Structure 1
Amino acid sequence: MAERNRRTVRDLRRGNRARVVQRLYFDGPLSRQELGSATGLSSGSISNVVAELAAEGLLEEAGVVDSDGGRPRTLLRVAPAGGLLIGIDIGETRVRVELFDLSLTELARTDRLLAQHGYDVDRIVAHVRTGVADVIRDAGADPHQLLGIGIGVPGIIERGGPEGAVVHGQTIGWSAVPFEKLLREAVEVPPEVPLFIDNGAKTLGQAEMWFGGGRGAGIAAIALIGSGVGASVIHGGALVEESRRGTALEWGHTTVHMRGRRCRCGSIGCLEAYAGAEAMRERWHELGGPLPDDTDDESALAALLDAAFPDTEGAVPDPLAVSLLDDTAECLGAALADLINLFLPDRILLGGWAGLLVGPHILPAIRRHAAQYALSHAAGRTTIDIGELGPDAVTVGAATLPLAAFLARGGSRPRTPDESVPQSGAVGVPRRWRRAPAPAGEASGEPIPG
């Protein structure tokens, strides 16, 4: 009985901390009185929690406001310097590592370029190791302030085994790679700093849902179009997952052409074999596009767009380039129609470096084809737009993985290497990222819904 009571007191204390730190993070700065109204906690509980969090360096004063006929009220906020977060994008052209403070302000970044088809596991691990060391050094940061490292990778993530997160990346030649184990052995950070490994399309989706074009949507589908293609579907701010812990949709390997082109996954007719940047480069080369054999995907896509949309006065668009982009738009539109029919999203966003580069040029055609291929009622309630967060969306989303866990723990720092913490899920949006105020959440110890 005594043990049960101790657990209950501990859980109540953690729940009270979570209410306060989450409300301040997403709605702050707030006064103690406002915190009491927002969380439903008594003034005594607010005072105790605020004193505890301030003593830990997690809260700080943010000015004062006049009150009606009373003493001025001190405003509180989560201290940006209260912790550090690292977000990593294992992309298809580079490994990007960014260091953030608690407000998700970038403190340092580094890019490690990848050679074409450069997914050697040892090389990727080395890039992560040196990238993490570089951003910590460049920012003059204390690695003991790290709250966690989030990593977005291509492929399917399997968890629960003794080696931690295992990556199955068929299109990049990764078969059951014990990525978490390899990183834990290589990356030089304190052992209590947790690693959060998830699919890159999922971290992109989480970033857009928290901070970007997905904000406020009931259901959103976020497409990542890079050298390959992926997607995530989000319901009301939480990613669609098996038991809340699954994988992003392998949307790039849905069929858009029967008996079509061979995809790098080994199948035929996949969306990725037509709409991925690598596939567009190959198709443009096959059509006679003026590309050297060793041209990378980004340069090839830029050349393709220049040919289809020349900016020189009097220049005539290359009909082959225009035709290729029209076909790509139709493939994307048909595949988006599948997402529309299956998930009935309010909103679809196109992201990823290739999506951001090509999307604005072919967005009207994508919308038109999606409407043609989807059920009319479903298509009529869905908007299709370009993502708002730009090329850093995956790293920002990756950084939200340890951030979400930190907030769910009520601001408690990680203590042991194998501490059980949430891997994902939207818990709200800090005020500086908002486009419109969010409704107040229920007073509970759970993350505040986004």
Structure 2
Amino acid sequence: MESKRSTVRDLRRHNRSALLSKLFLDGPLSRHELSGPTGLSAATVSNVIGGLIDEGLVVEAGMVDSDGGRPRVLLRVNPAYGHVVGVDVGETGIKVELFDLTMTRLATADHPLPGPRPEPDAVADRIVAGLAEVLKSAGVDASDVLGMGIGVPGTVEQGSPVLVHAPTLGWDSVALGKMLASEGVTIPVFFENGAKTLGQAEMWFGAGRGARYAVITLVGSGIGAAVITDGQIYRGVTSSAGEWGHTTVVYGGRACRCGSRGCLEAYAGAEAILERYRQARRGRRDQQGDEQSRLAALLAAAPRSAVAEQVLAETAEYLGAGIANLINLFNPERIVLGGWAGLALGEQLLPAIRKAAEAHALAHPYGQTTIELCELGQDAVAVGAATLPIGELLRTGARPH
């Protein structure tokens, strides 16, 4: 008898999940438009939607004319049902953003990190401060927040507790969630690698939308990627899949922050690009400012500086070769170049990057792949992090806990 109850419960959860997911990603839609794509009968759709409306998860969103019949009522996920928070733990700062349930951004807080290898408790302090700021700014109570997603620059080992392994920050097995709880954070918290949260954001709302097989890349100080196979993020045995920046492009080459040599990140990450530029200038006075402003200055110098042009041409070659490796390994239909440095480089160098990828990739899979820029800009990691609690809501059809 228990098995039968469980089966009915599972079926109801599946039906709620299917309808909520369709409405969130493609709404507003009518009941009729929900029936076909989800494979549910009109009676099931009507019954489930009625329950979701009663709970406040779904609301009516106007009318649409139908062919020869009564106008149909449009439905959508209720923006006011709850809020979500997305956090981007970058290598130089932390961005905290608050959204309603339709991913309308309501408030943002930015906090710089104290150095390149911050202590975990310093990061936790800034996340807590940012959370308080965005809630106060938008006038939202913490009880109305469904959850907070956090994108981090490292491998996330899911378990109890969740552990963050971030060698670029000097972290090994850091239980950041326990630290947040000890500082009074009571809302559900979800963790994921930052490249993977960016990948989910671009797949749901940006340049990856509609693709089933894709690689969404993140190029910042470091380099990572989210590999999408049959619509799902591939994580591997311990969730470390997608460490594209630590694939070898030059055997025995430049030292990388990971401890190896010749990694793509050691040539095409923003930190490495700027270091190669400094070396090429043979000790001339270093440019001032943070990495973003210095990379922007390098890109601006290229038309009048042979040294800058050479460094950027080499960078395009390295990125193109790295993308060719992705094409040969995963045969994606789409590759998206993202991250703050990826966007800055891509806006100027994308034709050269494509040319280098074509030169190094197998001809047939290259011909099936498009190489595009991220559409969501520099907020993509935080946006993707905010989708983590929403993903749990859509998967279970119930409030995360």
> What SS does structure 1 have at the residue aligned with 2:344?
helix
Aligned residue number for residue 336 of structure 1: 323
Of residues 36-45 and 15-24 in structure 1, the stretch that sits farther from structure 2 once superposed is 36-45
The 8 Å contact of residues 117 and 170 in structure 2, kept in 1 or not, is answered as no
Correspondent of 1:241 among 235, 239, 244: 235
Alignment map for 1:246-257 (pairs within 5 Å): 246-257=239-250
Query: Does structure 2 retain, via aligned residues, the 8 Å contact 1:116–1:296?
Result: no
1:171 Cα deviation from its structure 2 partner = 2.0
Aligned equivalent of 2:258, options 250, 256, 265: 265
Q: Deviations over 1:351-375 (max 9, x none)?
A: 1001111222122221121111222
Task: Quote the residue 2:127 is aligned against.
Answer: 128
Q: Tell me if structure 1 keeps the 8 A contact 2:389–2:400.
A: no
> Which secondary structure does the structure 1 equivalent of 2:190 belong to?
strand
1:308 aligns to 2:302 (yes or no): yes
Q: Which runs of 5+ in 1 are unaligned?
A: 310-316, 416-450
Rate the CA distance shift 1:136–1:273 in 2: closer, same or farther, 3 A: same
Within-5 A mapping of 1:119-158: 119-158=118-157
Note the C-alpha offset of 1:405. Answer: 1.0
Instruction: Report the equivalent of 1:84.
Output: 83
Give the match for residue 314 of structure 1: none
CA distance 1:76–1:284, change in 2 (3 Å):
same
- Matching of residue 171 in structure 1 with residue 171 in structure 2: no
Counterpart Cα distance in 2 of 1:36 and 1:331: 48
Decide which structure has greater helix share: 2
Instruction: Find 1:391's aligned residue among 370, 378, 390.
Output: 378
SS in 1 for 2:211: coil
Deviation at 1:219, TM superposition (A): 1.6
**1:84-116 deviations in Å (ceiling 9; x for gaps):** 111111112221111111111101111112345
Any residues of structure 2 matched to 1:216-365 within 5 Å, and which? 216-242=210-236, 246-288=239-281, 291-292=285-286, 295-309=289-303, 317-365=304-352
Q: Is the 8 A contact 1:291 1:300 kept in 2?
A: no
> Which segments of 5 or more consecutive residues in structure 2 lack a partner in the other structure?
none
Q: Deviations over 1:125-162 (max 9, x none)?
A: 111111111111111112222221111111111122x3
SS in 2 for 1:263: coil
Relative to structure 1, the CA distance from residue 23 to residue 233 in structure 2 (aligned partners, 3 Å threshold; closer, same or farther) is: closer
**Counterpart residue number, 2:209:** 215
Q: d(CA) in 2 for partners of 1:340 and 1:168?
A: 27
Query: Corresponding residue for 2:194?
Result: 200
Q: Say which structure, 1 or 2, has more relative contact order (CA 8 Å, 6+ apart).
A: 1
Contact kept, 8 Å, 1:210 with 1:237, in 2: the verdict is no
Tell me the distance in 2 between the aligned counterparts of 1:226 and 1:297.
Answer: 9
Structure 1 letter corresponding to 2:233? L
Which residue number corresponds to residue 104 of structure 2?
105
Contact 1:158 1:167 in 2 (8 A): yes
3-state DSSP of counterpart to 2:87: strand
**Which residue, 378, 397, 400 being the options, matches 2:365?**
378
Q: CA RMSD in A?
A: 2.2
- For the 8 Å contact 2:235–2:242, the answer to whether it is kept is no
Cα separation, 2, equivalents of 1:68 and 1:207: 35
Residue correspondences, number: 400
Tell me by how many angstroms 1:35 deviates: 3.8
For the residue of structure 1 that corresponds to 2:172, the secondary structure is strand
* Alpha-carbon distance in 1 for matches of 2:71, 2:360: 60
Alignment check: 8 A CA contact 1:99 1:135 kept: yes
Amino acid of the structure 2 residue aligned with 1:246: S
Contact map agreement 2:334 2:369 (CA 8 A) in 1: yes
Say which is worse superposed, 42-51 or 76-85, in terms of deviation. 42-51
Change in Cα spacing, 1:136 to 1:259, as seen in structure 2 (3 Å) is same
Shift of 1:24: 2.6
SS in 1 for 2:140: coil
After alignment, is 169-178 or 348-357 more displaced?
169-178
Matched residue type, 2:207:
G
- Scaled by the length of structure 2, what TM-score is found? 0.93
The one-letter code sitting in structure 2 at the alignment partner of 1:106 is: R
C-alpha contact (below 8 Å) 1:336/1:370 kept by paired residues: yes
Change (3 A) 1:292 1:67: closer
| Residues 283, 38 of structure 1: alpha-carbon distance in 2 compared, 3 angstrom cutoff | closer
- Name the CA distance, whole Å, in 1 between partners of 2:354 and 2:65: 51
User: Which residue type is aligned with residue 99 of structure 1?
Assistant: L
- The DSSP-based 3-state class of the residue aligned with 2:251 is coil
1:419: which partner in 2?
none
Q: 1 CA distance for matches of 2:336 and 2:65?
A: 43
- Measure the CA separation in 2 of the matches of 1:198 and 1:249: 12
Query: 1:25 Cα deviation (Å)?
Result: 2.4
Per-residue CA deviation, residues 392-415 of structure 1 (Å, 9 max, x unaligned), is: 1111111111111101112x1134
Q: Does 1:414 align with 2:400?
A: yes
6-15 or 89-98, which deviates more: 6-15
What is the CA-CA distance between 1:37 and the residue it aligns to? Answer: 4.8
